[in-house]
Amino acid sequence: MRGAKSAKWVVGAIVVALAATACGGGSDSGSKADKGAVDPNGIFSVELGEPEKLLHTGDTMESNGSLVMSGLFSTLVDYKADGSLEMINAESLTTTDSKTWTVKLKQGWTFHDGTPVTSKSFVDAWNWNANVNNAMGLASWFSDIKGFEALHPEKEGAKPTGDKLEGLKIVDENTFTVELKSPVPAFGHKLAYIPFAPLPESFYKDPKAAGEKPVGNGPYKFESWDHKKQIKIVRYDAYKGPNKAKNGGVLFKNYTTIEAAYEDLKSDNVDVLRQVGPKDLPVYHQDLGDRAVDADHSAIQSIAVAFYADQWAKPKPVDVKVIQGLSMAIDRATITKTVLQGTREPATGWVAKGVLGFQENAAGDITKYDPAKAKELIKAGGGVPKNAITIQFNADGGHKEWVDAVCNSITQATGVKCTGDSKPDFQADLAARKNQQVKSMYRSAWSLDYPINGNFLSDLYRTGAAGNQGGFSNKELDAKLAAAESAATLDESVKLFQEAEKSLVNYMPSIPLWYYKVNAGYSEKVSGVKYDQAGDPILTGIEVKK
């Protein structure tokens, strides 16, 4: 008996020793991998939830579907990490006035079924996606194009009067022009988004079947979709784009929880994670060593004000100083470090990092923690009505902890009573926002659609914008945003948006909290794992070791 016991101790010691050497050897194995021993046909697996909808280019907006689509379809352009454009399916994209754009396609591209990619493939796809009868969720992305209203009338239940966007003209097999209603300097960047991808002829025969088994023009072709279990895509060898896959294919594996996926990563059953769960965040650097990822991600968390709520609207609209004061009462540095375990970075403006036109410290002093100044501002603004606020959030998203922390911070600094207003799930949270039932303030988050600062400003704070759910409306700001949106050049547009962002301090439509980060990891089997601005792994660049 005694012998057995001590044997166990010895085994324990060996395990510890092995673990120690494994950690020390981590960097060595990295350089070994660089020398080669890469299997160009190797297939790796990525943790991915079941896509919510059919894989339609015009309807894939959640992250599970869009990662698959990014492998299956290539758009005209893509953007690099610095926000500049890279030509993919387009040979060139030219405009003189940001109003009429000429697209020239690269020659010889084919869809995965062998049919050629022509200008018609693009024009037909855009017309189909924009048509209200097809009820595509991303249809509004075509609203810049002349003649959009004919296909997509704004009024509920109205029938479309045409089936073609007037602004699209096919010049020849490989050239087409796009005429916009007014100059949109950011239009080139918007073209990188998935609804602008081309569709093959076979799509229109049975769109539903095509959504189950998409045929695209991207670096990977679709192989199989075993619902709620896995999706497999394999390299398309005839692919002509610059982003050819360095691996043989991707297996997207479905997990019930991110914790389960993390366990499988540790036991080498899955290769790439998109996210590490809150439970494992404190240990994942230790567990994975240099395979732990900590990257920037262009998304921002903020608290938006429900301006229609009695508290802020009656008897007179709230003084902006009150909201500025509340912002200064939040100790972002401490909360991100402790409650959020360093997975977020305190925000200093309304635009997330990693997009064109991001500016450090755009919000000035109001994102700095200063209890004395906060109290002063709130007093000068006439105080918070009833001296109490609530922050609405959805309980199913892991937000309770930080909402409580933010509330504590506000109460401690200013004496304003603050409580979380928990909705059971995201659906209920959205419904309350849509029906204007938010009592005071609500949690709001925004992740980029295209990497230009205007995406974080115009889509959130313009009067009546889809993302503007707090009823914020200001004529001065609307004018500034409109000017920026229709500036002649991209540079000018970005600059005007920067000015608009700086002026947001005077309106305080929301209180910026922090920027998101990608906290993920990968297995020993793969290398070259990088993440894009949307927080997704870049599939084509990943190499599989032999």
Partner 1 sequence: MGRYVARRLLQMIPVFLGTTFLIFFMVYSLPGDPVAGLFGEKGVDPATLAAKRKELGLDLPIWQQYWNYMTDIILHFDFGNQIRNGRPVTEVLGDAFPITLQLAALAFAFELIFGIALGVIAGLRAGRVADNAVLIFTLLIISVPVFVLGFIIKLVFAFELGWIAPNVSNEQNWSELIAPAMVLGGLSLAYVARLTRTSMAENLRADYMRTAIAKGLPKRRVIGVHLMRNSMIPVITFLGTDIGALMGGAVVTEGIFNVKGVGGLIYESITRREGTTLVGLVTILVLVYLVTSLLIDLLYAVLDPRIRYA
Residue ranges that bind partner 1, judged by CB under 8 A: 51-54, 61-62, 132-137, 139-140, 152-158, 208, 211, 226-230, 253-257, 260, 263-264, 267, 269, 396, 423, 425-428, 430-432, 434, 444-446, 449, 459, 466-467, 469
Least Å from the CB of residue 161 to partner 1: 13
Judge contact between 449 and 193, C-beta under 8 A: yes
Name the DSSP class of 196: G
Of 38 and 43, CB closest to partner 1: 43
Of 46 and 136, CB closest to partner 1: 136
What contacts 485, CB < 8 A, 6 or more positions away? 184, 186, 454, 458, 493
Of 143 and 506, CB closest to partner 1: 143
- Give the Å distances, CA to CA, from 485 to 98, 491, 515, 526: 11, 11, 24, 42
Least Å from the CB of residue 48 to partner 1: 13
Residue 246 backbone dihedrals phi, psi, to 5 degrees: -95, 10
Least Å from the CB of residue 53 to partner 1: 5
Residue 456 burial (10 A CB sphere; 0-12, 13-18, 19+): buried
Name the DSSP class of 102: E
- Angle (nearest 5°) at CA 351 between 497 and 451: 80
Least Å from the CB of residue 12 to partner 1: 11
Least Å from the CB of residue 388 to partner 1: 23
Name the DSSP class of 456: H
67 alpha carbon, distance to own chain's centre:
11
Of 87 and 428, CB closest to partner 1: 428
Least Å from the CB of residue 467 to partner 1: 6
Of 255 and 507, CB closest to partner 1: 255
Residue 124 backbone dihedrals phi, psi, to 5 degrees: -60, -40
Of 219 and 289, CB closest to partner 1: 289
3-state secondary structure 479-546: HHHHHHHCCCCHHHHHHHHHHHHHHHHHCCCEEEEEEEEEEEEECCCEECCCECCCCCECHHHCEEEC
Judge contact between 395 and 404, C-beta under 8 A: no
Least Å from the CB of residue 60 to partner 1: 11
Judge contact between 176 and 191, C-beta under 8 A: no
Least Å from the CB of residue 52 to partner 1: 5
Residue 473 burial (10 A CB sphere; 0-12, 13-18, 19+): middle
Judge contact between 156 and 229, C-beta under 8 A: no
Name the DSSP class of 350: S
Least Å from the CB of residue 263 to partner 1: 4
Of 403 and 487, CB closest to partner 1: 403
Least Å from the CB of residue 334 to partner 1: 27
Of 23 and 81, CB closest to partner 1: 23
Judge contact between 252 and 230, C-beta under 8 A: yes
Least Å from the CB of residue 87 to partner 1: 27
In the chain, count of helices (H) and strands (E)? 19, 19
Of 246 and 423, CB closest to partner 1: 423
Alpha helices in 169-257 (DSSP H): 187-190, 202-205, 207-212
- Angle (nearest 5°) at CA 398 between 393 and 401: 80
| The residue count for the chain | 546
CA R_g for the chain: 25
Least Å from the CB of residue 396 to partner 1: 7
Of 111 and 515, CB closest to partner 1: 515
Measure the CA dihedral 7/12/18/23, to 10°. -170
Alpha-carbon torsion (140, 143, 145, 149), positive or negative: positive
Least Å from the CB of residue 236 to partner 1: 24
- Give the Å distances, CA to CA, from 516 to 14, 298, 352, 445, 452: 40, 7, 8, 10, 17
Of 31 and 435, CB closest to partner 1: 435
Of 88 and 145, CB closest to partner 1: 145
Of 459 and 492, CB closest to partner 1: 459
